Structure 1
Amino acid sequence: MLNRTQWRLPLIALAALVGGAALSGGTLAGWNAAQPASGMTVTSGDLDIESVGDPRWTQTSADVAPAPEPIDPDTFLVRRGDTVTATYDFSVALAGDNMRARATVDWARAPELPAGVTGTYTVVGGDGTQHPIGDGATADTFDLTGTGREDGTVSLVITLDFAGLDDRFGMESATQITDLGDFTVDLQQTRTGGAFQ
């Protein structure tokens, strides 16, 4: 059983972080079915991934107080030395008496950051464990186990560091665009590890 969903991360205008506050795509419903068999009902387990709320943007520059501080990406003006973090949450639900699932997050299309800007992409599991994502070629896998029903939230945290960004002042300054890429989340049933032999 495999449940897959994909999100496109926004394009960000570095001068104003324009329009970077929405996930595209949508919800991929979990697989759930019921089959009658000789007077009894057998119900399948369930794997479900769903985006949760809007992304949270914060200004996290170490030399600015207060930090972290919530920001509006439509109005925040980025300057050299700034650090900005965006957090995307999605819920993971398991239902099944013998259910163990592995969630994998990877790039469908790697991010493209301009010169002077670096990005760190991390998946944070429901237990707080951090799983860094590579630069487009690697995936990190972590286990989610369920007995009966278990729900949890997994977050993708993107930190953008503008330490090397050229200072640009005046109306003639060219708009630089940061493409944060597209990522996929796979949730797949596995029968190894945990209580499985």
Structure 2
Amino acid sequence: MNRLSHLLLFFLLSNLSYGQKSFEGLIKFSTNIKLLKNAPSVYNDLPEVYGDSLIMYYSANGDFKRIHLNSADFGNGTQDFNAKNGIIIFTKNNGEKDTLNVVKNLLELKRKTKINNEKIMDRDCECWEYMTLDQDGDYAILNYCFNLNTPKIDPSLYLMYQDFFLYDFYELSKRPYLKFSLETKYFILTYTADRLIEGKLSN
């Protein structure tokens, strides 16, 4: 049984927790990276760095964990977000660790726009686009999509995650995202949900 099957089995065998204040459970995403024509060769390893899929586990207290699947030995392993201090701990598959403070947004918003709906997991999803500039003055386009019939989350739990306008999105949607994309001048990274399971992770 592979890593993904183990994680899903933990959820299916756990006591499901419905009606709670904020969504607790996992969303499994397919990962796609498109390198643009002008991308320097240093970006060629991005698909191996990110892997082919991602699991995002939401805790009821606002903490979450992202788990990259099928990434290379030098690639991304996990990202653990602490909702109280706004710190993410990055762990690579080779054991290397790093931290990032996401309390401050490093992107400058130029425009936020509702764009065309998309169908994700056979659900009609509302989508929003954030046109931004990074610290170097280069553009970064963020897209988030959500569905109103998915479990609610408490946006106040994510007040410490200002970077990438994540708190702004949660305040808008009151729902987890089912699609996220980041477009830069060198690549487009897209996470698209294909499974959502409610419930607390079994020990």
TM-score w.r.t. the length of structure 2 is 0.28
Q: Which has the higher contact order (CA 8 A, sep 6+)?
A: 1
More helix by share: 2
Q: Which has the larger radius of gyration?
A: 1
Larger strand proportion, structure 1 or 2? 1
Q: TM-score, normalised by structure 1?
A: 0.29
